[in-house]
């Protein structure tokens, strides 16, 4: 493992911050302050240090500071110094004009493609929006699981993007007509190629994650049994090759053309899969468990993935845990803090009450956030 930690974070016109410069010592960080103070905004800034749209899935225009009367969010920037072993790396990202649709990235002052960030930083996060993960539709669970896959295999995001782009074009062709058979064949071939790789990445991550959970033994967080629904993920789990999955998917898409055209949506493919989680001790689906148990199950998945990635090659992941401690009892809070420290990860945690982080005193860096101002807690 190469331990990765942020030692400096800078924000310019980002969300509620016009300017902020934070020196960090590499330990876990807990942010304390009232609701609306800007704690989650800081976590979101950190989340823009990897490719994608950040932990809120916001558009680039949304995150720019916007004063009363300003029609668009301002141009914004997030910069950081990243420590990895004995090396320091300086990186920055943002947009250079209000309303820009393309994110710029600089590494040591030189422009680079956003994908380069995935080589330097890996992140796993949990936010209050995921509290209802097991009660919402399958799309939210896919998005959550794909984020875990992406932390392990960044190329997964490109496969998902290619699949969804081809799927949109195919559906438009089917619904607007007249259907061009040759073009449909080409689009379905693209979907099949990317979809097969998506299914394989998901199946591999699920298998590795289940093995990690099983190996962790008795812990304050409930053990879980994971599975993925969907014919394509099942084929991948049964060691089908990418070509075998792709060929089966091409055939299924061709057969489904009339049905998809009538429905106005694509009814076949890995975009329809779902993540199922069973509370092992109670032998009950997560959706039937209490709110606290559901939160603990989700957190266990996140911690297991973080621990697994910390032992793999590449940078150790950074954990972003927004308002997690408030939903845990004292025993599980201490267990969470102990695990973060034992694995050796830098984590960013937020909460409204300082007493939630008493178990971190002396082994983490505390920051008070209020009115988008930041100060140390000693």
Cβ atoms within 10 Å of 103's Cβ, excluding its own: 17
Beta strands in the chain (DSSP E): 4-14, 17-23, 29-32, 77-84, 87-94, 104-107, 110-111, 123-126, 224-229, 274-279, 284-285, 318-321, 347-351, 365-370, 373-376
Categorize the per-residue pLDDT at 377 as very low, low, confident or very high, splitting at 50, 70 and 90. low
Six token digits for residue 161: 């993007």
pLDDT of 378 higher than 60: no
Quote the longest CA-to-CA distance of the chain.
68
Span 275-285, pLDDT tens digits: 999 999 999 99
Span 3-62, pLDDT tens digits: 789 999 999 999 999 999 999 999 999 999 999 999 999 999 999 999 999 999 999 999
Span 283-303, pLDDT tens digits: 999 999 998 899 889 999 999
**What is the spatial order of strands in the sheet that 274-279 belongs to?**
224-229, 274-279, 284-285
Q: Distance of CA 174 to CAs 161, 190, 261, 264, 266, Å?
A: 20, 16, 5, 8, 10
Instruction: Please report, rounded to a whole number, the percentage of residues in the chain having pLDDT higher than 70.
Output: 99
Per-residue pLDDT, 49: 97
Six token digits for residue 257: 């053309």
Cβ atoms within 10 Å of 281's Cβ, excluding its own: 10
Span 146-168, pLDDT tens digits: 999 999 999 999 999 999 999 99
Mean of all residue pLDDT scores within the chain: 93
Rounded Cα distance, 365 and 28, in Å: 6
Rounded Cα distance, 275 and 209, in Å: 13
CB 254 within 8 A of CB 189: no
Per-residue pLDDT, 1: 54
Instruction: Please report, rounded to a whole number, the percentage of residues in the chain having pLDDT higher than 90.
Output: 78
Span 53-100, pLDDT tens digits: 999 999 999 999 998 888 888 999 999 999 988 899 999 999 999 989
Span 181-191, pLDDT tens digits: 999 999 999 99
Categorize the per-residue pLDDT at 346 as very low, low, confident or very high, splitting at 50, 70 and 90. very high
Span 305-331, pLDDT tens digits: 999 999 888 888 999 999 998 888 888
Single out the residue of 147, 265, 243 nearest to residue 195, CA to CA. Answer: 243
């Amino acid at each position: 493992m190469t331990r990765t930690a942020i030692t400096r974070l800078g924000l310019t016109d980002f969300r509620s911050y016009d300017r902020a410069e934070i020196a960090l010592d590499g330990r876990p960080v807990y942010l304390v302050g009232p609701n609306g103070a800007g704690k989650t905004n800081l976590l979101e800034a950190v989340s823009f240090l990897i490719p994608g749209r950040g932990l809120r899935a916001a558009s680039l225009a949304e995150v720019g500071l916007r004063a009363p009367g300003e029609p668009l969010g301002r141009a914004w920037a997030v910069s950081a110094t990243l420590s990895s072993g004995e090396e320091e790396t300086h990186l920055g990202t943002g947009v250079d004009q209000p309303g820009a649709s393309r994110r710029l990235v600089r590494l040591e002052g030189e422009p680079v493609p956003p994908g380069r960030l995935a080589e330097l930083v890996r992140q796993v996060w949990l936010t209050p929006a995921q509290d209802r993960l097991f009660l919402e539709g399958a799309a939210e669970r896919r998005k959550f699981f794909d984020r875990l896959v992406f932390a392990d295999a960044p190329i997964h995001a490109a496969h998902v993007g290619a699949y969804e782009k081809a799927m949109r074009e195919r559906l438009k062709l089917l619904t607007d007509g007249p259907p061009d058979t040759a073009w449909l064949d080409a689009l379905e071939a693209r979907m099949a190629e990317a979809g097969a790789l998506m299914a394989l990445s998901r199946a591999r991550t699920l298998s590795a994650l289940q093995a990690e959970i099983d190996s962790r033994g008795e812990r304050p967080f409930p053990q879980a049994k994971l599975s993925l629904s969907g014919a394509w993920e099942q084929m991948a789990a049964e060691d089908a090759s990418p070509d075998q999955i792709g060929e089966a998917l091409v055939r299924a898409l061709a057969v489904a053309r009339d049905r998809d055209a009538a429905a106005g949506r694509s009814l076949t493919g890995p975009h329809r899969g779902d993540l199922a989680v069973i509370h092992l001790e109670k032998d009950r689906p997560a959706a039937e468990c209490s709110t606290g148990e559901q939160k603990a199950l989700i957190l266990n998945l996140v911690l297991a993935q973080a621990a697994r990635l910390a032992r793999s090659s590449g940078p150790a992941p950074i954990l972003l845990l927004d308002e997690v401690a408030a939903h845990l009892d004292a025993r599980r809070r201490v267990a969470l803090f102990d695990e973060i420290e034992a694995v050796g990860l830098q984590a960013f945690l937020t909460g409204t009450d300082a007493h939630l982080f008493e178990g971190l005193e002396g082994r983490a860096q505390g920051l008070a956030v209020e009115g988008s101002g930041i100060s140390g807690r000693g």
